[in-house]
Amino acid sequence: MMAAATIERALNPASAPLRNGVFVAVVGPSGAGKDTIMDFARDALRGQPDFHFVRRVVTRPSTVDAEDHDSLGEEEFLAAQRAGAFCHCWEAHGLRYGLPVSVDQKVEQGAVAIANVSRGVLPALRQSYANFIVVHITASPEVLAQRLAARGREDAEEIKRRLMRAAPNPCDPSDAVMIDNSGEVAVAGSAFVAVLRKSSAFAAVSEQI
């Protein structure tokens, strides 16, 4: 019931350029399993055109153990940005990230667009979409530490810094729907799918108003 009430408050008809669909911003610390939960939802909603899982453009090569994304070099990314290829861009961890302009087209058509984003870009996203919701996927500090160590990408000091960044932050949106992914993926994944289905139902009603 609490999550449902939070969704109702977040999905509001405030004035914004795009209002037919819904933008779902997924945030959370490294190791929380954001990509895993999004993959779960993508499989659960496969073949349903009302849901658009955004493929980000990132200035790093695609690898087997990272998210599936489109890659551009630094200069190529900046050229694409100047050409208007992205509706939103941000920088994090020394990389550039972009959301294709097709995201706006999907929202205009009434779809639910779902994207993994940085907390820093949330204010710009909130201004761009009348129907906007933040889903904060997290996990216990112990689980985060275990997952980060298992990835083998960072040393102990870097893992410590990531865990410090994962702590509650004043920049965290107070209206976010919280999903704990400390346990079975199916539990957190099903909760996320429920949020997306409710968002789609809201978009359908909003489009008729």
> Which positions make up the binding site for ATP?
28-35
Report how far apart, in Å, the C-alpha atoms of 92 and of each of 58, 98, 118, 125, 175 are.
10, 11, 7, 16, 23
Closest CA to 86 of 97, 94, 75, 76: 97
Binding residues: 28-35
Report how far apart, in Å, the C-alpha atoms of 149 and of each of 52, 139, 144 are.
32, 15, 9
Q: Can you list the alpha helix ranges (DSSP code H) found in 53-184?
A: 74-82, 102-108, 122-128, 141-151, 156-166
Tokens encoding 117: 């984003």
Judge whether 31 and 142 are in contact, CB under 8 Å: no
Strands laid side by side in the 70-71 sheet: 70-71, 57-58, 95-100, 86-92
Judge whether 18 and 129 are in contact, CB under 8 Å: yes
Any idea which residue has 């999550």 for tokens?
Answer: 3
CA pair distance 97, 133, nearest whole angstrom: 20
